[in-house]
Amino acid sequence: MTQLTIKASKQMSKAQALAFYDALAAAIPNPTTELNFNSPFELLTAVLLSAQATDISVNKASIGLFSLANTPQAMIELGLEGIKEKIKTIGLFNSKAKHLLETCEILVTRFNGEVPRTRPELESLPGVGRKTANVLLNTLWGEPTIAVDTHLFRLGNRTGLAVGKTPLDVEKKLMLITPKQHLKDAHHLLILHGRYVCTARNPKCDDCVAKKSCNGIADKNCLINAVMTH
């Protein structure tokens, strides 16, 4: 768990939210994940490895990993030590390797080697929580889910798009305030904006295409302490 102190702003109106998303969508015409993958299993693996790690570091490690094992059965045959060797440059690689191997065993025995397509089944896999399930449901199958990571939690509170004390609070508010036409791409629009513009330190407000709708510029007094869990 990571203790975060987030500056919270006044909650946006639906009209502000529509203008906010419209601006992001115009600036980011092809919003998608920056994790490299060629199959549902590869994305599941990459997302499992990405907790408390950058997409860049995961992509560097996954090249070698997927060249040896890009299916659950192949990953089982590679074994725990083999997985560790390929992902040792990523933080928490010991526990991630263990979860990945356990996940592969479940995929083979319960799901015929395929990544399941429902939230309960996904969350039954080791290391897969609500956030990871949301990423997979949205990225792989286009379901209107929004995974609230550190970037989205910060952005929601700072801009006023979705003010909440927990990731689930922010997720619920995002699902309510996000215009229907932007629901499918909302997760990637927001994460890319949070990663490159509305950054944790020194946000690039002058370069923000959605600043006219942002409440954060005018209201930076309220502090919210929240616990982020993966």
Active site residues: 131, 149
- Upper half-sphere CA count for residue 41 (Cβ side, 13 Å): 21
User: What does the block give as tokens for 63?
Assistant: 């090249």
Can you tell me the distance from the alpha carbon of 155 to that of 204, in angstroms, rounded to the nearest whole number?
Answer: 12
Q: How far is CA 214 from CA 34, 180, 181, in A?
A: 25, 20, 20
223 sits in which H/E element: strand 222-228
* CB of 130 closer than 8 Å to CB of 123: yes
Instruction: Say which DSSP state 11 is in.
Output: P
**Quick count: other Cβ atoms within 10 Å of Cβ 103?**
22
Residue whose C-alpha is closest to residue 34's, from 23, 46, 44:
46
With b for 16 or more beta-carbon neighbours within 10 A and e for fewer, the 15-45 pattern comes to ebbbbbbbbbbebbeebebebebeebbbbbb
